[in-house]
Structure 1
Amino acid sequence: MPSTTLSRRELLASAATAGAAATAGCTGSDGVPDDQRWPQFGFDATNAAANPDAVGPSEEPTVAWVHAAGSYYRNSTQPLVGDAVYANAWFDGVFGLAPADGAVRWHDAGDYAQLTPALADGTLAVPHRDGLRGVAADGGLRAFGRAVGFGRWRTDLTNPESSPSVADEAFVLGVGTAGHGPDGGRVAAVERADGSVRWEYSVETSVWGAPALADGVAYAAARDDDEADPDTRGTVHAIDLADGAAVWSKRLGESPRFNPVGAPVVGDGLVYVPTGTGPLVALDADTGDEAWRLAPPDGVQASPALADGVLYVAGLDGTLRAVDAATGDPEWTEAGEKYYGGPTVGDRGVYAVGADGEVVSWTRNGAERWRVRIDPPVSGSPVPADGMLYVGTGDGLLYGLE
């Protein structure tokens, strides 16, 4: 099925409409239903990237609105959906946008890192270049009709490297790179209430993907920083969520490079780790022993999605694969484009967007629903909610498709 191109004229008209609404002080929609929200990277603490209640567009979508900022949407970065659509626009700061029309409800012009925030208890935890910042999800205090009281707390953690995950009253994230910060690379747990550091766990290098949390354990995939070594290998660490004690560590792979970029996913007793230009590796969640691996051409950089015993894997070879989550046995495959961002799953099926801007939706059994094309480059993941699909691009555009 050929892609429908969402034209530049349509894009500019939508962006102008959203800007006019913001200028007029329009607040737009009151938000989306609670069960359709997307409050953190990968939807929940396991990074499963699947919300069975989230409803995307019913048919081939058109552009409802576009928000333009000087942002850069890093690999697998996702917008968040709650009472607003929250977009981390990096140097341009954090935006709270009306879900229906993209109108700007509030904007904090802080110097943030290009990572997905996390939303909990009315607070956005946003990685900042100097640490983690707690931002009021509603924009905080207001004066003369403008939001001015963004900050709730701030934690000094040099050089956040991953999106935070939320569980057990804490935000958990990768921080720093060995040799590039005063404390080297580590995984940190930060208390949701006040931003105090619960614990820090040292790693040899850095963790780029949001840690996956389940059953009191945090699973973090650390990279190998020896860029000159073609046989480099990353390491997966299982860490006790209560106190930061080591549970187990597993060294990954041989050659080619096993150097995780995307976040791991945990579920059904396994931890699924995309290794970059190497395969996707499934490890036993209790021991770290390898259960199976999937090795498509060019490797798997993006985080997979997990729903109802099926793992959806988007490869650098431009193929989406649905495999049995327990065994890795294939169920179906569909052609697309090179995927830097992972797939997501909602009520109406599976969504993925290729590097060249082709957004595709399939049913759970692999039947194609529609294809449309937005402005490339794209390295993030699409998020369905309340009949919409939200996806950001490397040129700083956040699309609301309906």
Structure 2
Amino acid sequence: MSVIWDTPADRKAEWRGAGAWLAGDTLVRGRFDAVTGFDAATGERSWEYVPPGRSSVCHSTADTARSVLVLVRDGDGASSPAKDKSCTSVVAIDMQDGHELWQARLSEPDPLRLQDSSVSAGGGVAVLLQQDQLRAVDVRTGKPRWKAALPKGCVPGRTAAAEHQIAAVLACGGEDNPWDKKVAEDAELHTAAFDLATGTPVWGGTPDDDRLDGDSGYRLLVQDGKLTVLTSHRKNPYRVRALDPATGGQREVSDLPDGMDSADRIFTYRDRLIVARYDAYSTGRRPFTAYERR
């Protein structure tokens, strides 16, 4: 393969807000301090969104089929001591031109081990964690769509959105809660799915419907017709479980070696492969490189 184009090397950055997506003819790169769009044909920068004031991006997600990126940022502040560091402000951005579409507020995540990112996007909706409930809004307008009915005694955490369903990690039950937190220290973590149209539960979310064989799920990815769950276990610290999004049936289980880093993404565009390096921003590498396939 030969290089067609390269984007300029990025300056070093924090890890927060990192991500890369392809929506139509636009590549989008997310960083803690800005989100930038590039022309996928030429690699030239086409737009940039910079959070207002001294706020920074905490997390980014996207519904690429509808060209909408949804980011979570912290509060404005002239100086570090005065800055609102809670990541509760949601902003939706048109991925074709960088224009802002709508804003919303999230509940402050508690605890961080369960809810490091409280928003996901896909299938025409953005799923927000508000007042310990999963609420879906139209991804382009921000108008309310539905509220999910959770199993009794469960608190929602991370979510992942696909075309027809929303997957979520739920913390349920537990008695070890001396500080009266929303989630007990010994709460059980389960994976559940809700319908991407009504919010009606489809499967999972309870000890009687455990799809992870007793493991604790903490990262979700819905892609290419399957739900991938990264889980932890005492004997095998990291496992990857591939589930059927429609039924929760387990397709594949594999153990990962200790210390394995997360992989960057590769996109197919026309007759080219485009490599994204958003997980390596601390080294100042080039965000995107396009290769011609021969």
User: Displacement, 1:196?
Assistant: 2.8
Structure 2 match to 1:205: 56
Contact 2:160/2:220 (8 A) holds in 1: yes
Counterparts of 1:32-51 in structure 2, within 5 Å, are none
> What RMSD over aligned residues (CA atoms) do the two structures have, in Å?
4.2
Q: Percent identity?
A: 20
In 2, the alpha carbon distance for the partners of 1:280 and 1:221 equals 16
User: Displacement, 1:284?
Assistant: 2.1
Contact 2:70/2:91 (8 A) holds in 1: yes
Contact 2:148/2:194 (8 A) holds in 1: no
In 2, the alpha carbon distance for the partners of 1:339 and 1:174 equals 25
Contact 1:230/1:257 (8 A) holds in 2: no
Structure 1 match to 2:255: 373
In 1, the alpha carbon distance for the partners of 2:135 and 2:243 equals 24
Query: Does 1:320 find its partner at 2:177?
Result: no
Counterparts of 1:214-293 in structure 2, within 5 Å, are 214-223=65-74, 232-254=86-108, 256=110, 261=117, 264-267=120-123, 269-273=124-128, 280-290=134-144, 291-293=146-148
Counterparts of 1:335-374 in structure 2, within 5 Å, are 335-336=211-212, 337-346=215-224, 350-355=227-232, 356-363=237-244, 364-369=246-251, 371-374=253-256
Rate the CA distance shift 1:158–1:210 in 2: closer, same or farther, 3 A: farther
Rate the CA distance shift 1:354–1:315 in 2: closer, same or farther, 3 A: farther
Cα deviation code 1:169-227 (max 9, x no counterpart): 22112223xxxxxxxx3222122234332222222321433443343443323345999
In 2, the alpha carbon distance for the partners of 1:227 and 1:156 equals 28
Contact 1:219/1:237 (8 A) holds in 2: yes
Contact 1:361/1:368 (8 A) holds in 2: yes
The residue type paired with residue 245 of structure 1 is H
Query: Does 1:152 find its partner at 2:33?
Result: no
* Greater alpha carbon shift after TM alignment, 287-296 vs 203-212: 287-296
The residue type paired with residue 213 of structure 1 is T
Structure 2 match to 1:329: 200
Cα deviation code 1:337-382 (max 9, x no counterpart): 33332144556x544230332333444323345544343467869x
Counterparts of 1:47-66 in structure 2, within 5 Å, are none
User: Displacement, 1:265?
Assistant: 1.9
* Secondary structure at the counterpart of residue 218 of structure 1: strand
The residue type paired with residue 167 of structure 2 is Y
More strand per residue: 2
Cα deviation code 1:268-302 (max 9, x no counterpart): x3112479xx665422224324432576856423x
Query: Does 1:166 find its partner at 2:43?
Result: no
User: Displacement, 1:166?
Assistant: 0.9
In 2, the alpha carbon distance for the partners of 1:323 and 1:227 equals 40
* Secondary structure at the counterpart of residue 216 of structure 2: coil
Contact 1:187/1:202 (8 A) holds in 2: yes
In 1, the alpha carbon distance for the partners of 2:96 and 2:223 equals 30
Contact 2:191/2:211 (8 A) holds in 1: yes
Cα deviation code 1:148-171 (max 9, x no counterpart): x69733254663742211124221
In 2, the alpha carbon distance for the partners of 1:344 and 1:325 equals 12
In 1, the alpha carbon distance for the partners of 2:84 and 2:133 equals 15
| TM-score, scaled to structure 2 | 0.58
Rate the CA distance shift 1:229–1:339 in 2: closer, same or farther, 3 A: farther
Structure 2 match to 1:12: none
Rate the CA distance shift 1:220–1:233 in 2: closer, same or farther, 3 A: closer
Cα deviation code 1:7-53 (max 9, x no counterpart): xxxxxxxxxxxxxxxxxxxxxxxxxxxxxxxxxxxxxxxxxxxxxxx
Gaps of 5+ in 2: 172-187, 205-209, 266-294
The residue type paired with residue 166 of structure 2 is L
Rate the CA distance shift 1:233–1:289 in 2: closer, same or farther, 3 A: farther
Structure 2 match to 1:311: 166
Rate the CA distance shift 1:244–1:292 in 2: closer, same or farther, 3 A: same
Gaps of 5+ in 1: 1-137, 141-148, 177-184, 384-402
| TM-score, scaled to structure 1 | 0.45
Cα deviation code 1:247-285 (max 9, x no counterpart): 211121256479753772221x3112479xx66542222
User: Displacement, 1:229?
Assistant: 10
Contact 1:153/1:194 (8 A) holds in 2: no
